[in-house]
Amino acid sequence: MSYLSTLSPAYAEIFLLVMACTILIVDLFVVNQKKTLTYLLVQLTLVGLASITVLTHQAGVVHLFNNMFVDDMMSDVLKVLSYIAVAMILVYSRTYLLVRGLFTGEFMVLTLFALLGMMVMISASHFLSMYIGLELMSLSLYAMVALQRDSAIATEAAMKYFILGALASGLLLYGMSMLYGATGTLDVAAVSAAINHGVANPALLTFGLVFVVAGLAFKLGAVPFHMWVPDVYHGAPTAVVMLIGSAPKLAAFAFVMRMLVDGLQPLMSHWSMMLVILAVMSMALGNISAIAQTNFKRMLAYSSIAHVGFFLLGVLSGGIDGYGAAMFYIVIYVFMSLGAFGMITLLSREGYEADTLDAFKGLNQRSPWLAFMMLLLMFSMAGVPPTVGFYAKFSVLQAIVNTGHIELAIIAVLFSLIGAYYYLRIIKLMYFDAPESHEPIRMQADSSLLISINGLAVLALGIMPGWLMTVCAAAVQKSLLLH
Amino acid sequence: MIFGFPLLSVAIWLPIIFGVLVLATGNDRNAPLARMIALVGAILGFLVTLPLYAGFDKMTSAMQFVELREWIPHFNIQYHLGIDGISVLFILLNSFFTPLVVLAGWKVIDKRVAQYMAAFLIMSGIVNGVFASLDAMLFYVFWEAMLIPMFLIIGVWGGANRVYAAVKFFLYTLMGSLLMLVAFIYLYKHSGGSFSILDYHVLPIPMMAQILIFIAFFMAFAVKVPMFPLHTWLPDAHVEAPTGGSIILAAIMLKVGAYGFLRFSMPIAPDASHELAGVMIALSLIAVVYIGLVALMQSDMKKLVAYSSISHMGFVTLGLFLFNAYGIEGALLQMISHGFVSGAMFLGIGVLYERVHSRQIADYGGVAHKMPVFAAFFILFAMANSGLPGTSGFVGEFLVIMGAIKVNFWYGVLAASTLIFGAAYTLWMVKRVFFGVVSNEHVAHLSDITPREIFIFTILAICVLGMGVYPLPFSEMMHATVNDLIVHLANSKL
Q: How far is B190 from chain A (nearest CA, A)?
A: 9
pLDDT value of residue A385? 87
Tell me how far apart the alpha carbons of residues A85 and A242 are, in angstroms, rounded to a whole number: 10
Whether B140 and A431 lie within 8 Å, measured CB to CB: no
Query: Which helix H or strand E contains A482, and what residues bound it?
Result: none
Cα distance between residue B212 and residue B176, in whole Å: 13
Q: Which residue among A398, A414, A416 sits closest to B185, beta carbon to beta carbon?
A: A398
Task: Please give the mean pLDDT across all residues of chain B.
Answer: 87
Of B27, B71, B179, the CB nearest to A466: B71
Which residue in B73, B166, B185 is closest to A466 by CB distance? B73
**A421 contact residues in B (CB cutoff 8 A):** 167, 171
Q: How far apart are CA B324 and CA B394, in angstroms?
A: 19
Half-sphere exposure of B275 (CA within 13 A, CB side): 17
Contacting residues of A for B167, CB less than 8 Å apart = 421, 424, 428
Asked whether the beta carbons of residue B181 and residue A397 sit closer than 8 angstroms, the reply is yes
Q: Which residues of B touch A (CB under 8 A)?
A: 26-27, 71-75, 77, 112, 115, 137, 140-141, 144-145, 147-148, 151-152, 155-156, 162-163, 166-167, 170-171, 174-175, 178-179, 181-182, 185-186, 188-189
| Inter-residue contact B285 to B411 (CB < 8 Å) | yes
Q: Which SS3 state, helix, strand or coil, does residue B134 take?
A: coil
Q: Which residue from A81, A394, A250 is spatially nearest to B72, judged by alpha carbons?
A: A394
The residue ranges of chain B whose pLDDT is under 50 are 1
Please state, for a pLDDT cut of 70, what percent of chain B lies above it.
99
Question: Per-residue pLDDT tens for B256-290?
Answer: 999 999 999 889 989 999 889 899 999 999 988 89
- Calculate the dihedral angle through the C-alpha atoms of A278, A281, A283, A286, rounding to the nearest 10 degrees: -110
Q: What is the pLDDT of residues B343-383, one digit of tens each?
A: 899 988 888 888 888 888 888 888 888 888 888 898 899 98
Hey, of B174, B180, B190, which one would you mutate to test binding to chain A, going by the most A CBs within 10 A of its CB?
B174
What residues of B are in contact with residue A473 (Cβ under 8 Å)?
74
Task: Note whether B72 contacts A410, CB cutoff 8 Å.
Answer: no
User: Do β-strands B77-83 and B64-72 pair in parallel, antiparallel, or remain unpaired?
Assistant: antiparallel
pLDDT in tens, chain A (483 residues): 577 788 888 889 999 999 999 999 988 888 877 788 888 999 999 999 999 989 888 888 888 888 889 888 899 999 999 999 999 999 998 888 888 888 888 889 999 999 999 999 999 989 999 999 999 999 999 999 988 888 888 889 999 999 999 999 999 999 999 999 988 888 988 888 888 888 788 888 899 999 999 999 988 989 888 888 999 999 888 899 999 989 999 999 999 998 998 888 888 888 889 999 999 999 999 999 999 988 999 999 999 999 999 999 999 988 888 999 999 999 999 999 999 999 988 888 877 888 888 888 888 888 888 889 999 999 999 988 889 999 999 999 999 998 888 889 999 999 999 988 999 999 988 888 888 877 777 778 888 899 999 999 999 998 888 888 889 888 888 887 664
Judge whether A169 is closer than 8 Å to chain B, CB to CB: no
Q: Which chain B positions have a beta carbon within 8 Å of A431's beta carbon?
A: 152, 155-156
Chain B closest-CA separation from residue A105 CA (Å): 41
Phi and psi angles of residue A173, each rounded to the nearest 5 degrees, phi first: -65, -40
Query: Is the four-CA dihedral A407, A411, A417, A419 of positive or negative sign?
Result: negative
Contact A401 B189 (CB under 8 A): yes
Contact B145 A385 (CB under 8 A): yes
Answer yes or no: are the C-beta atoms of B260 and B221 closer than 8 Å: yes
> Considering CB atoms only, which of A406, A432, A465 is closest to B182?
A406
Phi, psi of A480 (to 5 degrees): -90, 150
Q: Inter-chain contact B171–A424, Cβ cutoff 8 Å?
A: yes
Task: For residue B34, give how far its alpha carbon lies from the nearest alpha carbon of chain A (Å).
Answer: 16
CB contact under 8 A, A428 and B148: no
Helix boundaries (H) for A264-367: 268-291, 296-317, 319-347, 363-366
**Minimal Cβ distance to B186: which of A379, A401, A414:** A401
* Nearest-CB residue to B148 (from A384, A410, A417): A384
In this structure, what are the phi and psi dihedrals at residue A67, rounded to the nearest 5 degrees? Answer: 65, 15
Q: CB-hemisphere CA count at 13 Å for B204?
A: 3
Q: Quote the pLDDT of residue A476.
A: 87
Residue B64, SS3?
A: strand
Cβ pair A413:B144 closer than 8 A = no
| A287 vs B: CB within 8 A | no
A369 to chain B, any CB pair closer than 8 A? The answer is no
Report which secondary-structure segment, H or E, holds B67. Answer: strand B64-72
A398 touches chain B (CB under 8 A): yes
What is the predicted pLDDT for the residue at A300? 92
Residues 6+ apart with CB under 8 A from A20: A45, A109, A112, A113, A116
**What burial letters (b/e) apply to B271-307, b meaning 16+ CB within 10 Å?**
bbbbebbeebbebbbebbbbbbebbbebebbbbbbbb
Residues of chain A neighbouring B182 (CB-CB closer than 8 A): 397, 401, 406, 409-410, 413
Are the C-beta atoms of B385 and B422 separated by less than 8 Å? yes
Candidates B15, B183, B8, B14; CA nearest to B79 is: B8
pLDDT of residue B259: 92
* Cβ-nearest to A385 among B74, B144, B166: B144
Selection from A249, A246, A17, A251 nearest residue A121 by Cα: A251
**Nearest CB to A398: which of B75, B152, B166?**
B75
pLDDT at residue number B2: 52
Which chain B residue lies closest to A419 (C-alpha atoms)? B171
Nearest CA in chain B to A398: B185
Nearby residues of B381 by Cβ (< 8 Å), 6 or more positions away: B341, B344, B345, B348, B460, B461, B464
